[in-house]
Structure 1
Amino acid sequence: MNSYLMLAIAIVAEVVATSSLKASEGFTRLLPSVLVVGGYVTSFYLLPQIMKTLPVGVVYAIWCGVGIVAVALVGQVLYKQVLDGAGYLGIGLIVAGVVVLQVFSKTNVH
């Protein structure tokens, strides 16, 4: 399977897991708790597979950056946790960092 497709799956799994933490209410609700555990297990299983072909720094930067942005957006939609201007600026800087890493860095070559 393509490393970037696996990375996308790992990111989605981590975002589902992290977003389900609040809904699990301290692991007292079964379905959200299962989503937390399943999402993290899936993500952490895929990450070392991806790192066989892509540099660890690139994988981790993309996984973290995209995950942070996605969880912030999910928080807005599901939990009505609206960001302020500084929050949006920070998210924009994270996105810019991931784009710079992908487009301009030679570190991405494998």
Structure 2
Amino acid sequence: MSPLLNAYALLALAIVSEVIGSTFIVKSEGFSKLLPSLAVIVLYSIAFYLLSQVVKVIPLGITYAIWAGVGIVLTAFIGFFVFKQTLDLAAILGIALIISGVVVINLFSSTAGH
């Protein structure tokens, strides 16, 4: 596997770890429940370790933009579908803009390492 493809695979795992960790923040009830609180710490640690490996190949700004953008969108979807939280028109528009930004970075930016 090429280093760039490997970096994107690690970035995907970092995003998944962060999103699941964020989901456990809700379940920890303000860090008052031990197991969900430990899950947050472990999953965020995994996410940041993986990010530290990704930035060896992909520039920090691009890595963080993709990680944060995709993480925000997936976390919003989990909030909507799992926790039944509502999204108004402004939130949906913002999510669409975030998705657009990540797509533009990946398709058109030479900085992304393509």
- Residue type of the alignment partner of 1:23: K
Q: Matched residues in 2 for 1:61 and 1:48: separation?
A: 14
State the SS of the aligned residue for 1:79: coil
Structure 1 equivalent of residue 36 of structure 2:
32
Q: Matched residues in 2 for 1:54 and 1:83: separation?
A: 32
Which digits, 9 at most, give the CA deviation of each residue in 1:22-62, with x for residues without a partner? 11011122221122111100011111111001111110000
Out of 67, 71, 77, which is 2:75 matched to? 71
Structure 1 equivalent of residue 18 of structure 2:
14
- Residue type of the alignment partner of 1:28: S
Mapping of residues 31-70 of structure 1, within 5 Å: 31-70=35-74
Counting matched residue pairs gives 110
Runs of 4+ off more than 6 Å: none
Q: Matched residues in 1 for 2:32 and 2:108: separation?
A: 45
5+ residue gaps, structure 1: none
Instruction: With the length of structure 2 as denominator, give the TM-score of the two structures.
Output: 0.91
Matched, 1:82 2:86: yes
Q: Matched residues in 1 for 2:63 and 2:89: separation?
A: 28
Give the RMSD, CA atoms, in angstroms.
Answer: 1.2
5+ residue gaps, structure 2: none
Instruction: With the length of structure 1 as denominator, give the TM-score of the two structures.
Output: 0.94
Residue 77 of structure 1, CA deviation: 1.6
State the SS of the aligned residue for 1:28: coil
Out of 5, 9, 30, which is 2:9 matched to? 5
**What percentage of residue pairs aligned between the two structures are identical?**
52
Structure 2 equivalent of residue 99 of structure 1:
103
